[in-house]
C-alpha cells in the first residue's frame, strides 16, 4: 500500500501542478512598453495645401534625435515617437484625429494644426484634455486666448496686421489701403480686420473692405469696387490659391496699386512665380537668407535631405518640435502637465525662424520679417525684432 499510495500521491501532485501552471498562465498577462516621448503631429496631407515637406522635415528631425539615442529627459534618454494624423480639410476629421491622438494614442503633446480654422476647435480639446498643443503656424489671436495648454510658434495676426500696416504706412508712405478676404475662414477674416484697425490707427484710410466666402473663384465685382475706391495698396490676407486668382483678376480689372499679404503667402511657389506678384510684400516668420550659424548648416542639410529648401511651415514645424524637446529636457519629464510648464518657461530658444521665448500666454515672443517677391524669389526686405 505504501508504494501504491506514494504513486497515487505523485499522480495527484502532478495534477495539482498542471492546474497551478494553467492558472498562472491565465493570470500572468500584461507588460510595460518602453517609455517614449509620444508627439502627435496634425497636418493636412490629403487636401490642398498639403504640408508634406513639413511632415518629412519633422520625421527627419525625430529620426536624427532617435539615432542619437533619443532626447535626454530627467537623466534618461527617451525615444521620440511621432504619430502623424492627416487632418484633411474638414473640421470633423481634424476633431476626430485630435481626439484619437489624445485619447487613444495618449500623446504627451500635439504639434499642429497649422491653420487657424483647424487649430481653433482642436485647441478646445487640448485645453480640456490638458495636453500641450504647439501650433506651428495658426496665427489667429483667439487660439491662445484664455488657454493654458495652447502655444504657437508663429507670430500672431495682431502683430502681423500691425507690422504690415506700419510697413505700408511708414515704409511705403501709403495712405489708402483696401482689403479683400475670405470671411468664412478664421485666418483671412481675422487678419484683415486687424490690418484695417492698425492702418487706421496709423492715420491711414481703408477705402474698401471686400469679402467673399471659401470656395469663391470670381472676385471681379469686389476688385472693381476696390479699384473704384482709389486704394493705393490691396491687402490680400488669403491663402495663396485664392491670392493668385485675386492678383490676376485685380490687374484685369485695372487695379494698378501694390499688393500686401500675410504669412500665408509663404507656402506656395505658384504665387512667387506669378508676374503680377512682382514687388508684392508679405510678412513672414521665416526668411532663409537671415539664417546664420548652425541653423544655416542645418537648413542646408534639410534641403539636401528633403530635396527642396525648408519652407516657412517646415521651419515652423521644426521649431515647434524643437520647443517641445527643449521643454521636455528642461523639466525632465514628458508628462503633459509638466511639459506645459516647460514650454511656458522656455526662454531664448534659437529656432530656424528666430529666437523664441514664451512667458506671456501661449504666443512666442519672436522676430518677424517682411519679404518682397522679386523675380520669383521671396527676399527679405525688413527684419523686425520682438519689440517691434
Partner 1 sequence: MNRFIQKSLVARLVSTSLVFSLLGVAGMGAASYLVGRAFLRQAAVDRLESASRQKETDLGLWVEERLRDLKFVAAMSARELSENPSLVERDPERLLNPLREYIDAQPDVREVLLLAPTGGRVLLSTDHSHVGGYRASYNFYTQGRQGPTVQSVYLSPESLRPILTVSMPVKDASGKLLGVLAVHLGLERIDQIIRSRAGLGETGETFLVDSSNILVASGRKGFAVMGRQAFTEGIQRALAGGSGQGLYLNDAGAPVVGVFRWLGSYQMALLAEMSQAEAFASAGQLALVSVLVGLAMAALLGLGVFVLSRRVARPILAVTRAAMAVAGGDLSVRAEVMTKDELGNLAKAFNAMTSDLSGLYSRLEMEGRERGAILQSSFDGIALADKNGTLIYDNPGMQRLFGYSVREVPSLAALADRIFASPEDRQSFVVNLMSDMLQENPPERVFPFQHRDGGQCWCRMRVSRMPGGNVVINAQDVSALKASEERVRHMALHDALTGLPNRQLFSDRLEQALRRARRNNAGVGLLYVDLDRFKALNDTFGHAHGDRVLVETALRLKACVRESDTVVRLGGDEFVIVLPDLAGSKDAQAVGEKVLEALFDPEVAEGRMFLGASVGLACYPEHGDDQDSLLARADAAMYSAKRAGGNALRVAGTLPTV
What residue ranges bind partner 1 (CB under 8 A)? Answer: 1-2, 4-5, 8, 11, 15, 89-93, 95-96, 98-100, 102-104, 117-118, 120-122, 124-125, 128, 182-186, 212-216
Least distance CB 185 / partner 1 (angstroms): 7
User: Strand runs (DSSP E) across the chain, as ranges?
Assistant: 36-43, 71-73, 76-86, 109-111, 133-135, 150-152, 176-182, 205-212, 233-236, 258-261, 281-284, 349-351, 354-359, 361-365, 368-374, 377-384
| Rounded Cα distance, 281 and 380, in Å | 10
Instruction: List the one residue out of 150, 204, 144 whose CA is nearest residue 174.
Output: 204
Dihedral angle sign, alpha carbons of residues 300, 286, 126, 116:
negative
Which SS3 state, helix, strand or coil, does residue 346 take? coil
| Minimal distance, residue 94 CB to partner 1, in Å | 9
Nearer Cβ to partner 1 (2/25):
2
Torsion sign, CA atoms 274, 279, 280, 283: positive
Closest CB to partner 1 among residues 11, 67: 11
In the complex, minimum distance from the CB of residue 179 to partner 1, in angstroms, rounded to a whole number: 17
Minimum distance, C-beta of residue 89 to partner 1, in the bound complex (Å):
6
Nearer to partner 1, 14 or 297 (CB): 14
Tell me whether strands 361-365 and 258-261 are parallel, antiparallel or unpaired.
Answer: unpaired
Based on CB atoms, which residue is closest to partner 1, 182 or 319? 182
Distance CA 87, CA 45 (A): 7
Closest approach of partner 1 to the CB of residue 356, in Å: 28
Specify whether the CB–CB gap between 357 and 152 falls below 8 A. Answer: no
Measure Cα distances from 123 to 16, 51, 63, 94, 179 in Å.
Answer: 58, 20, 27, 11, 28
- Looking at the Cβ atoms of 95 and 253, the one nearer to partner 1 is 95
Least CB distance from residue 194 to partner 1, whole Å? 18
| Min dist. Cβ of residue 314 to partner 1 (A) | 23
Q: How far is the CB of 235 from partner 1 (least distance, A)?
A: 20
Exposed / middle / buried, residue 57 (Cβ in 10 Å: 0-12, 13-18, 19+): buried
Sheet of strand 133-135, all strands in order from the earlier edge strand to the far edge: 71-73, 76-86, 36-43, 109-111, 133-135, 150-152, 361-365, 354-359, 349-351
**How many whole angstroms separate alpha carbon 179 and alpha carbon 208?**
6
Distance in Å, CB of 118 to partner 1, minimum = 8
Of the pair 211, 248, the CB lying nearest partner 1 is at 211
Distance CA 146, CA 363 (A): 12
Amino acid at each position: 500500500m505504501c508504494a501504491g499510495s506514494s504513486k497515487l500521491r505523485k499522480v495527484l501532485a502532478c495534477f495539482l501542478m498542471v492546474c497551478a501552471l494553467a492558472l498562472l498562465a491565465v493570470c500572468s498577462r500584461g507588460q510595460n512598453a518602453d517609455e517614449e516621448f509620444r508627439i502627435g503631429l496634425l497636418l493636412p496631407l490629403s487636401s490642398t495645401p498639403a504640408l508634406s515637406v513639413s511632415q518629412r522635415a519633422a520625421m527627419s528631425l525625430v529620426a536624427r534625435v532617435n539615432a542619437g539615442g533619443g532626447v535626454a529627459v530627467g537623466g534618461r534618454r527617451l525615444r521620440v515617437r511621432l504619430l502623424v494624423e492627416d487632418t484633411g480639410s474638414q473640421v470633423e476629421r481634424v476633431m476626430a484625429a485630435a481626439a484619437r491622438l489624445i485619447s487613444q494614442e495618449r500623446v504627451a503633446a500635439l504639434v499642429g494644426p497649422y491653420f487657424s480654422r483647424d487649430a481653433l476647435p482642436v485647441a478646445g480639446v487640448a485645453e480640456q484634455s490638458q495636453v500641450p498643443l504647439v501650433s506651428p503656424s495658426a496665427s489667429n489671436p483667439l487660439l491662445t486666448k484664455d488657454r493654458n495648454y495652447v502655444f504657437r510658434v508663429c507670430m500672431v495676426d495682431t502683430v502681423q496686421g500691425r507690422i504690415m500696416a506700419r510697413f505700408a504706412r511708414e515704409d511705403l508712405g501709403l495712405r489708402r489701403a483696401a482689403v479683400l478676404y475670405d470671411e468664412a475662414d478664421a485666418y483671412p477674416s481675422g487678419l484683415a480686420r486687424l490690418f484695417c484697425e492698425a492702418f487706421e490707427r496709423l492715420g491711414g484710410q481703408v477705402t474698401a473692405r471686400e469679402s467673399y466666402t471659401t470656395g469663391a473663384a470670381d472676385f471681379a465685382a469686389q476688385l472693381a469696387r476696390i479699384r473704384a475706391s482709389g486704394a493705393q495698396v490691396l491687402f490680400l490676407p488669403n491663402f495663396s490659391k485664392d491670392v493668385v486668382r485675386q492678383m490676376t483678376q485685380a490687374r484685369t480689372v485695372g487695379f494698378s496699386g501694390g499688393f500686401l499679404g500675410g504669412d500665408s503667402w509663404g507656402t506656395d511657389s505658384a504665387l512667387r512665380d506669378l508676374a503680377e506678384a512682382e514687388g508684392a510684400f508679405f510678412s513672414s516668420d521665416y526668411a532663409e537668407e537671415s539664417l546664420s550659424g548652425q541653423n544655416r548648416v542645418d537648413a542646408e542639410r534639410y534641403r539636401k535631405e528633403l530635396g527642396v529648401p525648408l519652407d516657412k511651415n517646415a521651419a515652423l514645424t521644426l521649431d515647434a518640435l524643437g520647443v517641445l524637446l527643449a521643454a521636455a529636457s528642461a523639466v525632465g519629464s514628458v508628462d503633459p502637465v509638466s511639459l506645459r510648464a516647460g514650454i511656458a518657461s522656455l526662454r531664448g530658444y534659437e529656432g530656424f525662424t528666430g529666437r523664441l521665448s514664451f512667458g506671456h500666454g501661449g504666443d512666442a515672443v519672436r522676430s518677424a520679417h517682411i519679404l518682397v517677391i522679386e523675380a520669383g524669389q521671396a527676399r527679405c526686405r525688413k527684419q523686425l525684432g520682438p519689440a517691434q
